[in-house]
């Protein structure tokens, strides 16, 4: 197995430096500049400003036309960090709560190793994307010509995974992460005196009916063998005891794996809204946004990832997908590939979940992540 251990101390320092200087989506200027400088220092060709702050490093070796893309995301979350380690966030309201600092360090480590050993024949594209957390940086890079400028036979992404023990690597063919939709529903009546309800359409009662009826969509409209989540996460309306408010706003999220199920749910949400509007004499406006599609691994690429994983760690076939979402889905719509989970939990203590204000990337998994990137590249671009 490739020796990467000598690279690790500097990469741990780099990871912690990025952690201390988190940047939100599309504002990853310091992080992107740091990545570009590190890539140039090892002789990798650098392209900046792709899809906003995205960076692509290109490493050619040999004569094969084969190509591979390896992706890391760079952005932080708008959360206040609650850890007190030396490398805690120095930026108020920004925090690497999803481990993207670790993803950057692992991919830079792989680039360093592959640039010095060159045990491959073909072209590697190191893809550093902005704005994974809800802002669609992967889509921005694809629209900016990522795969036409840097064609890839395959593209892979690793995500640290606190639910799996350190040392394990898991993926699956087909769906691995959910589609994320969000909705905002505005119920509008007229507003009036609470003591004269017969003259005032009740937007609060209509909103309460909506909340109840929307919660029947998954149980009554979706087959028990399919899977979906609908959660109402917000109701805002009213301000005092003797006024029926003129409007109430409901918001929530829907997670699915199958576009046909997603269609049924969107139709049901709109239909229920129209029915409630009619029965309560209010107007109901639905803003329904399918913001991230499901992340669907290509079977061949998932098999390739499993084979590579087995050479560096404990490879597991993930039994089921996760309901969280990922904008790597946009890259997989444009290029065959697979999304892979890298176990992050220490045996002695459970890891904090992703997006928790006390989460921190586990630096002990850096070498395994580097080896997995390297194995993916060296196997896909194997010398003849
Ligand atoms: Zn995240
Ligand atoms: Zn993430």
Q: Distance between CA 275 and CA 49 in Å, rounded? A: 47
Ligand nearest to the CA of 77: 1
Q: What angle do CA 221, 226, 232 make, to 5 degrees?
A: 60
**pLDDT at position 368:** 98
State in Å: Cα 159 to ligand 2 middle: 6
- Domain extents in the chain: 5-177+294-380, 179-292
Ligand nearest to the CA of 157: 2
pLDDT in tens, 115-172: 999 999 999 999 999 999 999 999 999 999 999 999 999 999 999 999 999 999 999 9
Domains 5-177+294-380 and 179-292 share a fold: no
Closest C-alpha to 328, from 301, 358, 368, 364: 301
Ligand nearest to the CA of 354: 1
Class of domain 5-177+294-380: alpha beta
- CB within 8 A of 375, min separation 6: which ones? 2, 308, 309, 311, 312
With cut-offs at 50, 70 and 90, classify the pLDDT of residue 96.
very high
DSSP string, 258-279: -HHHHHHHHHHHHHHHHHHHHH
Q: Name the CATH topology of 179-292.
A: Alpha-Beta Plaits (3.30.70)
State in Å: Cα 147 to ligand 2 middle: 22
State in Å: Cα 73 to ligand 1 middle: 10
H or E element: which one contains 111? helix 100-117
Paired residues of 222 in beta bridges: none
With cut-offs at 50, 70 and 90, classify the pLDDT of residue 347.
confident
State in Å: Cα 354 to ligand 2 middle: 8
Q: Distance between CA 364 and CA 348 in Å, rounded? A: 13
- pLDDT, the chain, mean: 96
Ligand nearest to the CA of 138: 2
Closest C-alpha to 371, from 306, 315, 309: 309
State in Å: Cα 354 to ligand 1 middle: 6
State in Å: Cα 133 to ligand 1 middle: 6
pLDDT in tens, 8-37: 999 999 999 999 999 999 999 999 999 999
State in Å: Cα 300 to ligand 2 middle: 24
Token representation of residue 204: 């609060």
Cβ 47 vs Cβ 149: under 8 Å: yes
State in Å: Cα 355 to ligand 2 middle: 8
In this structure, what DSSP letter does residue 79 have?
-
Ligand nearest to the CA of 73: 2
With cut-offs at 50, 70 and 90, classify the pLDDT of residue 2.
low
With cut-offs at 50, 70 and 90, classify the pLDDT of residue 349.
confident
Neighbours of ion ligand 2 (CB under 5 A): 98
pLDDT above 90 covers a percentage of the chain that reads 97
Ligand nearest to the CA of 74: 2
pLDDT in tens, 244-293: 999 999 999 999 999 999 999 999 999 999 999 999 999 999 999 999 99
State in Å: Cα 132 to ligand 2 middle: 7
In this structure, what DSSP letter does residue 29 have?
H
State in Å: Cα 159 to ligand 1 middle: 9
pLDDT exceeds 60 at position 300: yes
pLDDT exceeds 70 at position 1: no
Q: 121 burial class (0-12, 13-18, 19+ CB within 10 angstroms)?
A: middle
pLDDT above 70 covers a percentage of the chain that reads 99
What sign results for the dihedral spanned by CA atoms 8, 12, 15, 17? negative
């Amino acid at each position: 197995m490739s020796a990467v251990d000598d690279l690790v101390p500097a990469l741990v320092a780099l990871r912690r430096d990025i952690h201390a200087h988190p940047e939100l989506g599309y504002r990853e200027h310091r992080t992107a500049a740091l990545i570009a400088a590190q890539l140039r220092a090892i002789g990798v060709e650098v392209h900046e400003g792709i899809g906003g702050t995205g960076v692509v490093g290109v490493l050619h070796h040999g004569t094969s036309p084969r190509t591979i893309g390896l992706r890391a995301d760079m952005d932080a979350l708008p959360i206040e960090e609650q850890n007190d380690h030396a490398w805690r966030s120095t930026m108020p309201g920004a925090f690497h709560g999803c481990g993207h600092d670790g993803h950057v360090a692992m991919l830079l480590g792989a680039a360093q190793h592959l640039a010095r050993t060159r045990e491959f024949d073909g072209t590697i594209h190191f893809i550093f994307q902005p704005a994974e957390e809800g802002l669609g940086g992967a889509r921005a890079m694809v629209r900016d010509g990522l795969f036409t400028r840097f064609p890839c036979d395959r593209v892979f992404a690793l995500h640290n995974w606190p639910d799996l023990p350190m040392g394990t690597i898991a993926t699956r063919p087909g769906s691995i992460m959910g589609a994320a939709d969000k909705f905002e529903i505005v119920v509008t009546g007229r507003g009036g005196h609470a003591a004269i309800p017969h003259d005032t359409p009740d937007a609060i009662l209509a909103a309460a009916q909506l909340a109840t009826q929307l919660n029947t969509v998954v149980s009554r409209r979706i087959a028990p063998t399919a899977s979906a989540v609908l959660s109402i996460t917000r109701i805002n309306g009213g301000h005092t005891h003797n006024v029926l408010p003129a409007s109430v706003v409901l918001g929530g999220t829907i997670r699915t794996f199958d576009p046909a199920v997603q269609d049924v749910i969107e139709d049901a949400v709109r239909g229920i809204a129209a029915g409630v509007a009619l029965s309560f004499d209010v107007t109901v406006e639905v803003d329904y946004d399918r913001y991230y599609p499901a992340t669907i691994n290509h079977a061949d690429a998932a098999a390739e990832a499993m084979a590579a994983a087995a050479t560096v760690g404990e490879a597991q076939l993930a039994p089921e997908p996760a309901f969280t979402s990922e904008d790597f889905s946009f890259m997989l719509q444009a290029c065959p590939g697979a999304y892979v989970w890298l176990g992050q939990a220490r045996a002695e203590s459970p890891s904090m979940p992703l997006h928790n204000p006390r989460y921190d990337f586990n630096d002990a998994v850096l070498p395994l992540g580097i080896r997995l990137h390297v194995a993916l590249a060296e196997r896909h671009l194997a010398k003849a």
